[in-house]
Structure 1
C-alpha cells in the first residue's frame, strides 16, 4: 500500500476548516493531521482563505521555511500584487474556491507533495504579465536573460508549462526524477527566480518555450 500523504488544513473560519477536513479525511491517498499551528508533521498544508491576510502569508512562509511542507492555496480572488506575493511566499498551487472539488483538491495536494506547482490558466496569464514587468525593472538592468537555456532545460520547462509533474517529465524525457528536479532548481537559482512556477512563467514570457 502506498504511503498516505500527511495533510493539514488552515482556514479563516471553523466551518470551512471542518468541511475541508471532512472531505480530505475521506480520501484514501491522504492522512489528515493536526491543523496549524500544530501541523508540523504535514507534508502539505491546504490554506482556504477569504482574503490574503498578513497572518495567512506568514503561515504559508512558515510551513515552507520551518516545516518544509508544501502550501496549496484555495481562494476566491487575488489581485495582481497578491498573486506575485503568493508566488514569493512559496505557495505551490492555487485553486479557485468554485473549482475546488474534493477530487481537484486531492489532485493538487498529491502534485504539491511531489513538488509540482499548478496555477489556473487565467492566473498564469496574469503572472506572466507581472513577471515581465518585474524582469524589466530587476533582472534586465543586470544584463540577465534566459538566452542561455540548454536544450534539456527548455524541454523540461516546456513540459512543466504543459502541466506535467516531475515524475511525468522524467518518464517523457527518459530522465531520472532527480535530474528533472535538478534542472528546475538550476534554472531558478541561475536567473534569480523564486520557484518553479516563476521559472515557467518567465520562460513563456521570454518566448523561449
Structure 2
C-alpha cells in the first residue's frame, strides 16, 4: 500500500528535508506541501493524504487550529503527526487533544520519521510516555473522570497500559492475553470513550484524571 504524505511547515528547509526522507522510502510519497495551516483544508480535500506532518507553530494558522478543522469537518480525516522543535512545547498537548495521532521532534533521525508515519497508519499510538506525562502535568486534573464511560476492569487495565505507551503485543504479554483479545478490548475502550484512535483515548485518560501524570 502506498502512503501519501502532506508536509506542512513554514520553513522551506524543513519541508525539503522531510520530502527527501519520505520520498526516499519505498511505499511513501509526498503528495504536496503547505507553508501555513490555512492551506491545509484545501490541499487535504484535493490530495487526500493518509498522513499530514504538521508543524505546530506557524504564523497565520497554527497546527492546532488546522488539526481541529480537519477533525471536525472531515468524516475520515488523515492521520496528523505534529512536528515540533521541543517535546515539552505546550502546543503539542493541545494538538493531541485536537486530534493529532502523535508527534515527532524535528531533530528525529530519518528512520524515526519513517517509522512514525508507518506506526500511525497501522493504527498504533505515536506517543512518548515520559513527554506526555510532563505535558499532561500542566492541565490534567486529579480523580477518575471516566467512571461514566462504563469501562470494565479489564478495559481500564488496558487503557492504563496504552497510556504507558505499550503496543497491543506488549499489552498481551503484560496481561497474559491473546493479541486478538487485546485488540477487542482496545476497540471497546475507543468506542466507549468516543475516541478516534489510541492516542485520543490516552489523552482523554489524562484529561479526566483517570491516569495521572506521575504514572
Q: Do Structure 1 and Structure 2 share a fold, with TM-score over 0.5?
A: yes
Shift of 1:195: 1.6
Counterpart Cα distance in 1 of 2:57 and 2:162: 29
Shift of 1:146: 7.6
1:170 and 1:146, CA in 2 relative to 1: closer, same or farther beyond 3 A? farther
1:91 aligns with 2:100: yes
Counterpart Cα distance in 2 of 1:55 and 1:132: 23
Counterpart Cα distance in 2 of 1:189 and 1:131: 21
Structure 1, unaligned stretches of length 5 or more?
Answer: none
1:53 and 1:85, CA in 2 relative to 1: closer, same or farther beyond 3 A? farther
Structure 2, unaligned stretches of length 5 or more?
Answer: 34-39
Counterpart Cα distance in 1 of 2:32 and 2:185: 32
User: When the two structures are aligned, how many residues end up with a matched partner?
Assistant: 196
1:60 and 1:147, CA in 2 relative to 1: closer, same or farther beyond 3 A? closer
Task: Report the equivalent of 2:21.
Answer: 23
TM norm structure 1? 0.73
CA deviation digits over 1:75-109, x for unaligned, max 9? Answer: 013667534421221111112222x2111111111
Shift of 1:110: 1.3
Counterpart Cα distance in 1 of 2:26 and 2:89: 36
1:205 and 1:124, CA in 2 relative to 1: closer, same or farther beyond 3 A? same
Task: Report the equivalent of 2:36.
Answer: none
Mean CA deviation greater in 117-126 or 83-92: 117-126
Contact 2:80 2:100 in 1 (8 A): yes
Local SS of the residue matching 1:31: strand
Counterpart Cα distance in 2 of 1:150 and 1:11: 42
Counterpart Cα distance in 1 of 2:44 and 2:172: 31
